[in-house]
Amino acid sequence: MQLNKSIWASPSDYFRQNQPDRPVCFFAPKVLHASLDEFQQGFPGLVTYAVKANPLREVLENLVAAGLSGFDVASPVEISQVRAVCQNAVLHYNNPVRSRAELEFARDAGVASYSVDSFTELAKLAEIVPPNGVEISVRLKLPVTGAAYDFGAKFGATPEKCGALLAKVADLGFTPSMTFHPGTQCKDPAAWQSYIFAADQIARRAGVTLSRLNVGGGFPSHRQGAQPELAPIFDAIRSATRTAFGTKPPDLVCEPGRAMVAEAFTLAPRIKAITDEGDVFLNDGTYGALAELPTIEPNERIVVLGSSGAPVGGRHKRRMVFGPTCDSLDVLPEKTLLPDDIAEGDHVLFHGMGAYSYSVATGFNGYGQVQTVTVQDLEPHLLARTAPQSR
Ligand SMILES: *Cc1c(COP(=O)(O)O)cnc(C)c1O
């Protein structure tokens, strides 16, 4: 019998020896370590990780092993997921709406940082969590553009209301801070700057000195075109903070989800069928790990590997790509560029799929289960070789 190999060199190496009928998600820990490094070297403050982007145990373990100790959590389940890999992790509960039972759970788990955007939720919090040493960040929303979609539609208070909330937080004896989220997959550094200048104005007018300013997640990952750069965003955050707050700035915190974890995973559904019209059916779709494709910009970082593990070539053309369920909504939003020579049984690799992929997959129609396979390298060079130069 062959030895069971648990870490493979690459997706091609894996597909040379395995032809699973279920979608596979390849995880390269070294890529996750590199993303964490980029944040820790470049971001001018404390780096935490937003667990919801990908709560896989291996992700949390690798981040903790590489020195990360702060996490943004949004529910008791996420609190437990982090505690299971790191007893003394620092948890920021930045979902601004919580039930009483959730607050009691968080308090008992030692959570000492929360966000709020309403007086009713602040009062509820103050009834359950004693103020000593506990930070409350008031969440600001502004009509700012630049992101793939607007997070202010659900959470955040207007500047006027933030001022009143901050004063109340300080009155109640909590440590006052502020937070915002510019919206996910945000490529415009100016979005962060608008928020930082506004936060300074709000705190000044409220007569409150901010302990910290949490600049959210929202940092972009690579889905199409040139790789978005984080350094200009970090520079914009650094310079806006200096300009706005002068010599006594609040400590900065960030809580990336997407940009921390996206690049470390390559999703590989398999071609189940190619129809008479040339349309493609995959064994994963928009009810599975490709859930985000209709709401965020398309992912065009696609490589096809044949059942021997070798890249499939040929000229490229756009095709309809369907998922496996019987719902007609289960289709990729734009026609997808795929090589001419694809065949049933090939594996379609989507790079940069670590965030909001199988963490949001449903089990609809009996699909949606993805197997994670650890690899040393995701082979981004195959993409450079096979990607077409133009549409
Ligand atoms: C979702 C979320 C994040 C992470 O956002 P990304 O766009 O994935 O970086 C960070 N903070 C809060 C409060 C969130 O809700």
Residue 313 Cα to ligand 1 midpoint, Å, equals 37
Q: Is the CB of 184 under 6 A from ligand 1?
A: yes
Q: What is the tens place of the pLDDT at every residue in 346-376?
A: 999 999 999 999 889 999 999 999 999 999 9
Domains recognised in the chain with CATH numbers: 3-26+262-390 (2.40.37.10), 29-261 (3.20.20.10)
Q: Is the CB of 257 under 6 A from ligand 1?
A: yes
pLDDT above 70: residue 134 = yes
Q: What pLDDT does 4 receive?
A: 58
pLDDT above 70: residue 61 = yes
Residue 53 Cα to ligand 1 midpoint, Å, equals 8
pTM for the full predicted model: 0.95
Q: Is the CB of 183 under 6 A from ligand 1?
A: no
Q: Is the CB of 94 under 6 A from ligand 1?
A: yes
Three-class secondary structure assignment of the chain: CCCCCCEECCHHHHHHHCCCCCCEEEECHHHHHHHHHHHHHHCCCEECEEHHHCCCHHHHHHHHHCCCCEEEECCHHHHHHHHHHCCCCEEEECCCCCCHHHHHHHHHCCCCEEEECCHHHHHHHHHHCCCCCCEEEEEECCCCCCCCCCHHHCCCECHHHHHHHHHHHHHCCCEEEEECCCCCCCCCHHHHHHHHHHHHHHHHHHCCCCCEEECCCCCCCCCCCCCCCCHHHHHHHHHHHHHHHCCCCCEEEECCCHHHHHHHEEEECEEEEECCCCCEEECCCCCCCCCCCCCCCCCCCEEEECCCCCECCCCEEEECEECCCCCCCCECCCCEEEECCCCCCCEEEECCCCCCCCCCCCCHHHCCCCEEEEECCCCHHHHHHHCCCCC
Q: What percent of the chain has pLDDT over 70?
A: 95
Q: Is the CB of 92 under 6 A from ligand 1?
A: no
Q: What pLDDT does 388 receive?
A: 60
Q: What pLDDT does 386 receive?
A: 64
Q: Is the CB of 52 under 6 A from ligand 1?
A: yes
Helices 76-85 and 100-108: crossing angle in degrees, nearest 10, is 20
Q: Compute the average pLDDT of residues 224-241.
A: 97
Atom of ligand 1 nearest to the CA of 115: 13
Q: What pLDDT does 6 receive?
A: 86
Mean pLDDT across the chain: 94
Q: What pLDDT does 380 receive?
A: 85
Q: What pLDDT does 358 receive?
A: 84
Q: What pLDDT does 175 receive?
A: 98
Q: What is the tens place of the pLDDT at every residue in 270-283?
A: 999 999 999 999 99
Residue 256 Cα to ligand 1 midpoint, Å, equals 6
> Model confidence at 142, in pLDDT bands (50, 70, 90)?
very high
Q: What pLDDT does 390 receive?
A: 44
pLDDT above 50: residue 238 = yes
